[in-house]
Structures are given as structure tokens and as C-alpha cells.
Amino acid sequence: MEISNKLKQLPTQFFATLVKKVNTAIEEGRDVINLGQGNPDQPTPSHIVEALQHAAADPKSHKYSPFSGTYEFKKAAADFYKREYNIEIDPNTEVAVLFGTKIGLVELPLAVMNEGELMLLPDPGYPDYLSGVSLANVKYETMPLLEKNNFLPDYNVLTEEQKKNAKLLYLNYPNNPTGATADIPFFQDTVELAKQYNIGIVHDFAYGAIGFDGERPVSFLQADGAKEVGIELYTLSKTYNMAGWRVGFAVGNKKMIEAINLLQDHLFVSLFPAVQYAGAKALTSEQDCVDELMKLYEGRRNAFIQECKRIGWNVKAPKGSFFAWLPVPEKYSSEEFADLLLDKADVAVAAGKGFGEYGEGYIRVGLLVDEDRLVEAVQRIEKLEIF
């Protein structure tokens, strides 16, 4: 049996090669410090695990979920947005339950675009956005995220043609991979652009909980009129260390939410009701576990950045997310530099090129190992005498 043409045209996974290289090095018995991936290293808080255990034993959880998810989970998502961002969300019409936000990001072009229509994506950006482009057979053009613009897209450089033709525009702040954050005026400009040119906005808020130096990341929906033009995707993967559970949601524009739900009616019955129950508990319980996690990440960020500066590496501290985006010394490409660090220092990082053309010149480091290992990674790099 041959696979379909649709599957044949899927983009190749740049990072599959990295994972292979790292695994080979580990199998060889090398002590690799793996800073290449984005998998939260801390466990899910125990009250959430206990909620799952309790709900898993309840026969009510053993039935099919309502197709669009339980009211309880959708209400918890709405209450979460009210509490955290003071935004009113109707649980019945403005929430779509997702098996993690990756699926929502991939589904959206299928749900609201026709073949050949145009989508605008950030570059560098989360590679899975391209999976949705390919499955829906739509076109995409990129918006460069440049350091001189604080890694925000400059809408002034979009051509009239791009603005007129774009059906969807993706944003992601706090940003993977650059660690940049956005503010409400930027989101307000985005809403104005969207209204003027009738573009649907999708804000990927995966790192919504992770902001440093006392600055809380803002929601796209805090901009006036945001719900008229777009949605925001929120995942429990990072805020509550629930990456393996596959639970997230989209909130905002009714039409876009309805389209996701319609597509999902045909693809899935919603998540295991016990996962939705525990997810609702995560969103509505005391948030001390989130505060503690943020302190942990900020401590790691500070230790790591300080050590980089000590060895003479001219780096900037990320403002949010659990990634640091570091400049590559001039004589190397990002891939060459990542290979060098793995081969000679047993430190795995992600080459910026894997996130798009404008990722060249950088590497991405995940702050997802203990502080002392992060410091050790920099000390190993120091021995290469590059800086």
C-alpha cells in the first residue's frame, strides 16, 4: 500500500534528525545535557493527578464525552479567562476543547480556509504550523520576526496583496523560539489590521503563564474587539506540566470556534471525561503550583544567562516562555554550531534554522533541566574556547 499524495507532501520534520543524533550519543554512553527539546521536566501537580484518579474511578467518566467536550471543562476555561484576564467567555459558544493545542493549530486551516488561500505565519515559528498548511493545501507566506523589532512582526512591511489575500494570521507570544513577549498595543494593532482586511487571527498562547521580571504575559483577547476577529489557543501542557495528557482549548470568535467544533465532530469524540474533569480542576483550583513553577523557570533563566555572560557570550535574557534564543558566533551556521556543541561538548540545542529562514544565526535552548546542569552546559561550552 502506498501512502497518499497528501501525506507525501507533508513537510519533513527538521528536528527528527536532532532527536536521532541525541539518542545515538546517549546510546553511546555519553552524558548529554539535552537542551534541544520543549518537554516540561516537572511532574503534574499532585492535586490534578488525584482529581484524575478520582474521576477515572467514576463510571460517569466511562461513557462517551459530549462531542464538543463537557460543559464543566468549558465553564472552567471561561472562568479561568475571567479570573486571569478579566475576559467574558461564553462556555457554550466561545470555547472549543482540544486534544492539546497542536491539534487546534493544525485543524484551523482545514476548518476555515479553502485550498490555495493564503495564511501568514511568523518566521521563526513553531514548525507544526506548517503541518496544517500542508494538510489543508493552503499557501503561506512568512512575517519575519527580527531582533530590532523585539521579534514582533512589522505589519508595515506586508504588501497590500498579502494583506488583501490573507485569510488567517498566526501569532505566538510569549514566543517559541525567541522568548519575546507582546503587549496590548501590539495586539490592538493586530485587531485593526484584521478588521481592515478581514483576516482571522489565531494567537497561540502556549506559554501564557510564563513571564519574567514581574511581567505577566497579556492575552490577545485583552485587546478591544479581539473576539470579533480571532481566537486564542491555551494549553495545559506548560502551565500545569500536563504535556502528556493532551488537553487544551480555544477561546474567542464564535464562528471560528464553531468551525473547529464542526470539524472535530467528524474526527473525534472529545477527551476522556476524567481528563476534562482534572483539567477543569487545574484551571479553577489555587494557582500556587503555577507561581512556584514560574519561580523555578526564572531561577534557571537567571543562572543560565548569567553564566553565558560570564564566559563572554553576548546573550539577552528571554522575557517569557521557557526558551533562551542565543546568537551563534559569526563563523558558524546555526546547524554547524549546534552540531559542534553536541559533538564536542555533549550539549544538545536546537539550531535556529529549524524554525525558519529568520531563525538562522541563533540557537534555541530549553530551560528544562536543573539549574546546575544548565550552568554545567555553559561551562562545557566555555572549554571549547569560542567566546
Contacts with ligand PLP by CB under 6 A lie at 38, 100-102, 126, 172, 176, 204, 206, 235, 237, 243, 248
65 versus 176: smaller Cβ distance to ligand PLP: 176
**CB of 234 vs ligand PLP, minimal distance in Å:** 8
End-to-end CA distance of the chain: 53
Nearest to 188 by CA among 235, 233, 230: 230
**CB of 207 vs ligand PLP, minimal distance in Å:** 7
Three cell numbers, residue 183: 503587549
Three cell numbers, residue 380: 562545557
Amino acid at the residue 348: A
User: For 182, phi and psi rounded to 5 degrees?
Assistant: -115, 165
**CB of 236 vs ligand PLP, minimal distance in Å:** 7
**CB of 58 vs ligand PLP, minimal distance in Å:** 25
Question: Do the bridges between strand 248-252 and strand 95-98 make them parallel or antiparallel, or are there none, so unpaired?
Answer: antiparallel
**Cβ–Cβ < 8 Å for 367, 322:** yes
**CB of 174 vs ligand PLP, minimal distance in Å:** 9
Within 8 A by CB and 6+ apart from 273, the residues are 55, 60, 61, 63, 65, 70
Three cell numbers, residue 107: 485543524
User: For 250, phi and psi rounded to 5 degrees?
Assistant: -115, 145
Helix axis angle for 254-267 and 101-112, nearest 10°, is 100
268 versus 313: smaller Cβ distance to ligand PLP: 268
200 versus 320: smaller Cβ distance to ligand PLP: 320
**CB of 321 vs ligand PLP, minimal distance in Å:** 8
**CB of 21 vs ligand PLP, minimal distance in Å:** 20
Q: How far is CA 13 from CA 18, 34, 36, 279, 343, in A?
A: 10, 18, 14, 30, 21
CA atoms within a 13 Å half-sphere pointing along the CA-CB vector of 133: 19
Residue with cell 554547524: 336
Nearest to 40 by CA among 337, 334, 290, 312: 290
**CB of 101 vs ligand PLP, minimal distance in Å:** 4
